[in-house]
Structure 1
Amino acid sequence: MNWLISGRSDGAYAQAVHTTAASATTRRSGSGGRLLGLLAASHPGPSLTVTVVATVLAATTGRGLGGTVLTASAVLTGQLSVGWCNDRADLHRDIATGRRDKPLTTGTVTPRTVATAALCALVLCVPLSLAMGPAAGGVHLVAVALAWSYNLGIKRTPLSWLPYAVAFALLPAVVTLGLPNHPWPPGWAMAAGALLGIGAHASNVLPDIEDDLTTGVRGLPQRLGAHRARLMAAVPLLAASTVLVLGPSTPAGPLEWTGLAVTGALAAAVVLPPRSGARSRLPFTATLLLAVLDVALLVLRGAALA
């Protein structure tokens, strides 16, 4: 991982990366600005979302205060490491496509700072994960390793969906394997997690398909094209909702059934061609809402994991 720290990158964008790294050192906006930039580079939205979901699941399945705090700490450090790794790995692509909403491309923080933060968070994640127990900790570290592998190369291949699917499927196991007797979660929870992961992957890619193709990122959604990528987002997310409502042995209540109905309507909005044309934000917005509803359903059904 020497390139991660050194700021070197291969290919046609190397000089641009060097230029950005150098200019970042001359355009510092003070320690407060650098701290905010570093936080923004961690992908705080997804990082906090995954952490909150894991924390709530730990609390609702009986992990206790100590176990819940430990789960939150391990998942947060893992997610921060993944977010920082992602921004550092994508630096040359962000420069090539003119992204000005990233702290690294604007020079708010340096590549070395982001890379160091990613590695430090990863180092912290290891003992925090293992403190949950060898089973829960080992599964969590596998999920983090899959996310890093996505950032560092798998995202460019037809198997780009696989790290998302496996890592999301393992999230319920991170929680339940820390319980007494270390039970694996029920199959419906892992299936719903895998479907949610596939849909989240496609949703995340939707706004950037053209830029990704320009810079050589040809994961499965990019290879499918915009319309079929919308299907790849909507169908698994709707399937995840269905599994979450019908899978547990405890009957679903009005809230769960309402959530399933809404996800069906949103899935239709994703798949149907938008009236405002190909550049409409409706499909992407609808997929985000679909993912949020799936996460809410997972939390609502969390007690059934134990």
Structure 2
Amino acid sequence: MCVPLGTPTSVLLGLALACHPGPTLAVTALVTALAAGSGRGPAGCLLVLAAVLTGQLSVGWSNDAVDARRDRALGRTGKPAVSGRVPVPALWAAAVVALVACVPLSLANGAAAGGFHLLGVAAAWAYNLGLKATVLSWVPYAIGFGQFPAFVSLGLPGQPWPAWWSVAAGALLGIGAHLANVLPDIDGDLKTGVHGLPQRLGPRRTLALTPVFLVAAVAVLWWPAAPLAAALALAPRLVRRPAAPFQSAVAVAALAVALLLVRGTG
């Protein structure tokens, strides 16, 4: 069924698509599962879910709002703001509402825990608002993923600090995710003046460096699994398919996430 552009249904569908639903749901599910594995009860897990979801929604919507002009210039008609499904002001309004809701939901997990989560959300907004075009583009991802173990752990009774390896693994996983996420768009980014770290490195070096951070994350979480992660990262050399290197990076990232869920926050 074709939904006419400009209708309330079209705008709602556009907002759903513009929030980057895949990463938003994946990160929300990961942190909620981490909270459950670390000992948070059903109510606590629901609070974690709500805080992370609103934070991720605000980041996704603000990202598409900021990038609307660039996406239009590159002819990315799959983007809701470019196709006309949702106007840019609506994206900004939704992003601000989600951000405002994220603050009390985060702090409801405790002042220290909520503070770390809001630090991660602020870093993501800084990335959207300009840091993505600098050599420090990787920093918000390191902060954003590295703070999640602290957010979960400090929300437990007694507010225990997370183990160093969980924070380090989260930061390494975040940097790897940044490189893998930007990789397909490097050429278009360069055309529109975005010169973050992956764009400066170029596709080849970014592709080679991505598995390094992901394998390092696996090694920090559980070093005996590092050989398996390295094998997954090197497997594309035996397969002549363009998508193989990216798929191998996803496989290593999935292994790191699985180990993080198994080990918890320490």
Q: TM-score, normalised by structure 2?
A: 0.94
Q: What does the per-residue CA deviation read over 1:57-94, in whole Å, with 9 as the maximum and x for residues that have no partner?
A: 11111121111110110000000000001111111111
Cα drift, residue 224 of structure 1:
0.6
Please say if 1:266 is aligned against 2:243.
no
Which residue is equivalent to 1:186?
Answer: 163
Distance in structure 1 (CA, Å) of the matches to 2:244 and 2:259: 22
Does structure 1 conserve the Cα–Cα contact (< 8 Å) formed by 2:6 and 2:84? no
* Contact 1:198-1:232 within 8 A present in 2 as well: no
- Give how far 1:217 is off: 0.6
Deviation (angstroms), 1:29? 5.5
- Matched residue pairs, number? 263
What are the superposed Cα offsets for residues 24-50 of structure 1, whole Å, 9 maximum, x if unpaired? xxx625333321211110001111111
Look up the equivalent residue of 1:287 and give its one-letter code: A
Separation in 2, partners of 1:145, 1:283:
31
- Partner Cα separation in structure 1 for residue 222 and residue 110 of structure 2: 30
- Give the conservation status (yes or no) of the 8 Å contact 2:112–2:154: yes
In the alignment, structure 2 segments of 5+ residues that lack a partner are: none
- Residue of 118, 129, 138 corresponding to 1:141: 118
Q: Which amino acid aligns with 2:258?
A: A
Between the aligned residues of both structures, percent identity stands at: 54
Compute the TM-score of the two structures, normalised by the length of structure 1.
Answer: 0.82
3-state SS of 1:268 partner: helix
The residue aligned with 2:249 is 287
Distance 1:34 1:281 in 2: 33
Partner of 1:59: 36
CA contact (8 A) 1:172 1:189 kept: yes
By how many angstroms is 1:293 displaced? 2.4
Q: Does residue 155 of structure 1 match 2:117?
A: no
1:73 aligned to 40, 50, 55, which one?
A: 50
CA contact (8 A) 2:37 2:262 kept: no
SS of 1:90 mapped into structure 2 = helix
Within 1, Cα distance between the matches of 2:15 and 2:257? 26
- 1:165 pairs with 2:146: no
CA displacement 1:223-263 (0-9 Å, x = unmatched) = 011111012211000111111113xxxxx7xxxx4xx5542
What's 1:249 paired with? none
- The 5-angstrom pairing of residues 1-306 of structure 1 reads 28=5, 30-246=7-223, 257=225, 260-269=226-235, 272=237, 275=240, 280-302=242-264, 305-306=265-266
> Could you list the runs of 5+ residues in structure 1 that have no partner in the other structure?
1-26, 247-251
Moved over 6 A (4+): none
**Structure 1 209/177 Cα, relative in aligned 2: closer, same or farther at 3 Å?**
same
Q: Distance in 1 between matches of 2:155 and 2:167?
A: 16
Q: What residue in structure 2 maps to residue 19 of structure 1?
A: none
What amino acid maps onto 2:165 in structure 1? W
